[in-house]
């Protein structure tokens, strides 16, 4: 590198500038300045000469691997080393000091857990009435015979001799329990017969039995709904469904209870938001007859919406099997919708069919998938065979006596007429629903207050009038926002005088208890 011409030019220019810009004043200052500048110039000159010499030394002119190394490369390499060194230095962080054993011991000693349960209050100590006989239309409570409206015995099968005989036969043949899950020798031929019978009765291809009504929905939902799917559900569904939705980790959107406009708006909103998602599964979950309010879902409208927006429907028919439709086949028959349009139908058999357990029915694909992935089916013991046998007999009896459903409808109508003028209470359920739901006309303002009043009413009805009705109870983990009320389960086995007695007693008791809460 030969920088001498540059050097000279710079120095020359600088000198020229200096000479040109010196004004007139004191000559000695100027002379001193010039002398100093020239000394500095000399120094810089010699340093530069020395550096050039060093850089132009023959050793620096080596050729390594065909690359002409000049001295400048040393400077560049040095710079690179400095940069790398600086980069490799960690940024300053305050040092992390893990807790010592002594500190952990102190923390563990200091920590005080909450008690396992909150303190027991007055209302937690109430005990339900104890039955001393079967829960038929007349039951014995505390030694007295009462008219029973607390059991969902819609077709009056409790105490039916055909069911009793088939259960006895099954108990003697198979014992009580099935001693194993379905995959490991817990499948008994009555289970397979029962599943075939249910599928045949409802007109579907296949069905699957669960050993408990409550676990049916909360095992079926997580089977098909995974994280990322969208589920639109009515806000009044029961806890089993809520739990299933929570376990599925999908996106849940609620719509107003039994309100089709709200449903349509919600579906519209969701479809607009997820235009491009092809692999997104979308479901609507509704109950046929809502346990929490006695309303009936308008299935034909739901099917129209489902087909328009391409959603799948899950229907819980616990309270409508054996009740709705002229032959008891449920909501699909009542609304004249072919059952193939509903993707998944579940039901608990603990209501009209007077046995325990639940079932799910639908297309073969849906049912087969559940046999390996539904946790309540795979990891749990199967239904006791005598209960499956009772279910088969119950469906047989229903098929042979279709007039049971019409008798039930008549009874509901009688009760409706009788209760329509009870002071302080209004009927909030559908006129065809077997659950007659009575709500307070004027609420006390809090759920607790309402419950207190209604409990009082129910207790008096039981003690004074021998009519057994119940108040709907809510668990602390239940998120349903619907109001509480009195529930009466009507049965086809109730006689007309039972129903009239119930109406008159309720009117009397309500008049006493609710006299401060009657709307003007």
Using the minimum distance from each CB to other proteins, give the nearer residue, 13 or 183.
183
**Which of 18, 61, 265, 365 is close enough to bind other proteins by CB under 8 A?**
365
**Which of 138, 199, 209, 213 is close enough to bind other proteins by CB under 8 A?**
213
Q: Does 319 bind other proteins (CB under 8 A)?
A: no
Q: Are the C-beta atoms of residues 412 and 435 closer than 8 Å to each other?
A: no
**Which of 28, 84, 120, 519 is close enough to bind other proteins by CB under 8 A?**
120
- Taking the complex as a whole, the smallest distance from the CB of residue 161 to other proteins amounts, in Å, to 10
- Contact window for other proteins (CB under 8 A) among 14-22, 30-38, 114-122, 498-506: 114-122
CA 262 to CA 259: how far, in whole Å?
Answer: 5
- Contact window for other proteins (CB under 8 A) among 47-55, 345-353, 413-421, 510-518: 345-353
CA 142 to CA 377: how far, in whole Å?
Answer: 38
Please give the backbone phi and psi of residue 129, each rounded to the nearest 5 degrees, phi first.
Answer: -65, 145
Using the minimum distance from each CB to other proteins, give the nearer residue, 203 or 228.
228
- Taking the complex as a whole, the smallest distance from the CB of residue 95 to other proteins amounts, in Å, to 19
Q: What ranges make up the beta strands (E) of 341-409?
A: 344-348, 358-362
Q: Does 376 bind other proteins (CB under 8 A)?
A: yes
Q: Does 447 bind other proteins (CB under 8 A)?
A: no
Using the minimum distance from each CB to other proteins, give the nearer residue, 324 or 462.
462
**Which of 251, 262, 375, 452 is close enough to bind other proteins by CB under 8 A?**
375
Residues 483-502 that bind other proteins (CB under 8 A): 487, 489
- Contact window for other proteins (CB under 8 A) among 31-39, 326-334, 348-356, 409-417: 348-356
CA 355 to CA 153: how far, in whole Å?
Answer: 10
**Which of 139, 220, 233, 267 is close enough to bind other proteins by CB under 8 A?**
139
CA 394 to CA 249: how far, in whole Å?
Answer: 37
Q: Does 339 bind other proteins (CB under 8 A)?
A: no
Between vectors from CA 434 to CA 220 and to CA 472, what angle results, nearest 5°? 75
- Residue whose C-alpha is closest to residue 395's, from 341, 354, 340, 449: 354
CA 309 to CA 253: how far, in whole Å?
Answer: 15
**Which of 70, 159, 298, 483 is close enough to bind other proteins by CB under 8 A?**
159
**Which of 118, 143, 272, 276 is close enough to bind other proteins by CB under 8 A?**
118
CA 311 to CA 309: how far, in whole Å?
Answer: 6
How many residues form the binding site for other proteins (CB under 8 A)? Answer: 114
Q: Does 136 bind other proteins (CB under 8 A)?
A: yes
Q: Does 379 bind other proteins (CB under 8 A)?
A: yes
Q: Does 477 bind other proteins (CB under 8 A)?
A: yes
Q: Does 421 bind other proteins (CB under 8 A)?
A: no
**Which of 162, 301, 304, 371 is close enough to bind other proteins by CB under 8 A?**
371
Judged on CB neighbours under 10 Å (0-12, 13-18, 19+), 387 is buried
Dihedral sign (CA 260, 261, 264, 270): negative
Residues 79-108 that bind other proteins (CB under 8 A): 99, 103-104, 107-108
Please give the structure tokens belonging to residue 379. 């990891």
How many CB atoms are located within 10 Å of the residue 179 CB?
14
Using the minimum distance from each CB to other proteins, give the nearer residue, 112 or 520.
112
Please give the backbone phi and psi of residue 55, each rounded to the nearest 5 degrees, phi first.
Answer: -75, -25
Q: Does 325 bind other proteins (CB under 8 A)?
A: no
Between vectors from CA 432 to CA 431 and to CA 438, what angle results, nearest 5°? 45
Residues 26-55 that bind other proteins (CB under 8 A): none
Using the minimum distance from each CB to other proteins, give the nearer residue, 139 or 335.
139
Residues 228-257 that bind other proteins (CB under 8 A): 238-240, 243, 246-247
Q: Does 135 bind other proteins (CB under 8 A)?
A: yes
Using the minimum distance from each CB to other proteins, give the nearer residue, 301 or 371.
371
How many CB atoms are located within 10 Å of the residue 506 CB?
26
- Contact window for other proteins (CB under 8 A) among 12-20, 382-390, 422-430, 447-455: 382-390
- Taking the complex as a whole, the smallest distance from the CB of residue 124 to other proteins amounts, in Å, to 4
CA 289 to CA 429: how far, in whole Å?
Answer: 9
Q: Does 143 bind other proteins (CB under 8 A)?
A: no
Using the minimum distance from each CB to other proteins, give the nearer residue, 362 or 517.
362
Q: Are the C-beta atoms of residues 179 and 211 closer than 8 Å to each other?
A: no
**Which of 233, 296, 390, 438 is close enough to bind other proteins by CB under 8 A?**
390
Residues 181-210 that bind other proteins (CB under 8 A): 182-189, 191-192
- Taking the complex as a whole, the smallest distance from the CB of residue 434 to other proteins amounts, in Å, to 12
CA torsion 338→344→350→355, rounded to 10°? 80
- Residue whose C-alpha is closest to residue 426's, from 512, 515, 486: 486
Please give the structure tokens belonging to residue 491. 């049965």
- Contact window for other proteins (CB under 8 A) among 12-20, 54-62, 265-273, 475-483: 475-483
Q: Are the C-beta atoms of residues 231 and 355 closer than 8 Å to each other?
A: no
**Which of 152, 299, 337, 422 is close enough to bind other proteins by CB under 8 A?**
152
Using the minimum distance from each CB to other proteins, give the nearer residue, 65 or 111.
111
Distance set, CA 128 to CA 106, 141, 453, 502 (Å): 47, 11, 16, 20
Judged on CB neighbours under 10 Å (0-12, 13-18, 19+), 477 is exposed
Q: Does 14 bind other proteins (CB under 8 A)?
A: no
Residue with tokens 């000049």: 70
CA 382 to CA 188: how far, in whole Å?
Answer: 9
CA 157 to CA 405: how far, in whole Å?
Answer: 12
């Amino acid at each position: 590198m030969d920088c001498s011409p540059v050097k000279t030019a710079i120095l020359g220019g600088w000198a020229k500038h200096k000479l040109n810009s010196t004004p007139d004043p004191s000559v000695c200052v100027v002379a001193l300045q010039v002398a100093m500048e020239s000394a500095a110039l000399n120094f810089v000159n010699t340093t530069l000469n020395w550096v050039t010499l060093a850089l132009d030394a023959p050793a620096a002119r080596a050729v390594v691997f065909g690359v002409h190394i000049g001295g400048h490369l040393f400077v560049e390499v040095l710079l690179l080393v400095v940069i790398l060194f600086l980069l490799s230095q960690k940024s300053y962080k305050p040092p992390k000091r893990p807790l010592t054993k002594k500190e952990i011991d102190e923390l563990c000693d200091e920590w005080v857990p909450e008690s396992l349960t909150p303190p027991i209050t007055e209302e937690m100590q109430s005990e339900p009435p104890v039955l001393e006989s079967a829960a038929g239309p007349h039951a014995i409570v505390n030694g007295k015979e009462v008219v029973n409206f607390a059991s969902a015995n819609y077709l009056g099968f409790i105490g039916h001799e055909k069911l009793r005989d088939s259960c006895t036969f099954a108990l003697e043949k198979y014992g009580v329990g099935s001693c194993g899950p379905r995959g490991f020798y817990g499948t008994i031929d009555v289970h397979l017969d029962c599943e075939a019978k249910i599928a045949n009765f409802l007109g579907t291809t296949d069905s699957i039995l669960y050993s408990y009504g409550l676990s049916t929905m909360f095992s079926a939902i997580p089977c098909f709904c995974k994280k990322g799917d969208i589920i639109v559900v009515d806000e009044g569904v029961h806890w089993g469904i809520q739990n299933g939705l929570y376990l599925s980790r999908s996106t849940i959107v609620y719509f107003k209870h039994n309100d089709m406009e709200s449903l349509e708006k919600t579906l519209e909103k969701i479809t607009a938001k997820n235009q491009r998602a092809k692999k997104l599964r979308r479901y609507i979950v509704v109950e046929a007859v809502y346990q929490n309010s006695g309303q009936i879902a308008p299935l034909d409208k739901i099917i129209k919406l489902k087909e328009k927006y391409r959603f799948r429907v899950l229907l819980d028919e616990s309270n409508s099997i054996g009740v709705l439709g002229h032959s008891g086949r449920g909501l699909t028959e009542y609304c004249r919708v072919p059952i193939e349009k509903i993707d998944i139908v579940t039901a608990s058999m603990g209501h009209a069919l007077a046995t325990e357990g639940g079932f799910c029915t639908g297309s073969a694909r849906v049912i087969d998938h559940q046999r390996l992935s539904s946790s309540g089916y795979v990891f749990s013991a199967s239904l006791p065979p005598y209960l499956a046998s009772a279910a088969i007999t119950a469906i047989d009896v229903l098929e042979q006596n279709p007039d049971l459903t019409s008798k039930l409808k008549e009874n509901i109508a009688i009760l409706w007429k009788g209760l329509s003028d009870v002071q302080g209470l209004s009927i909030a359920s559908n006129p065809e629903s077997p659950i007659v739901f009575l709500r307070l006309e004027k609420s006390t303002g809090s759920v607790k207050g309402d419950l207190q009043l209604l409990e009082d009413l129910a207790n008096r009805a039981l003690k004074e009038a021998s009519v057994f009705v119940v108040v709907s109870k809510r668990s602390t983990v239940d998120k349903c926002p619907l109001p509480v009320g009195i529930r009466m389960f009507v049965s086809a086995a109730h006689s007309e005088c039972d129903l009239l007695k119930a109406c008159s007693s309720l009117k009397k008791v309500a008049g006493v208890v609710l006299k401060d809460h009657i709307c003007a």
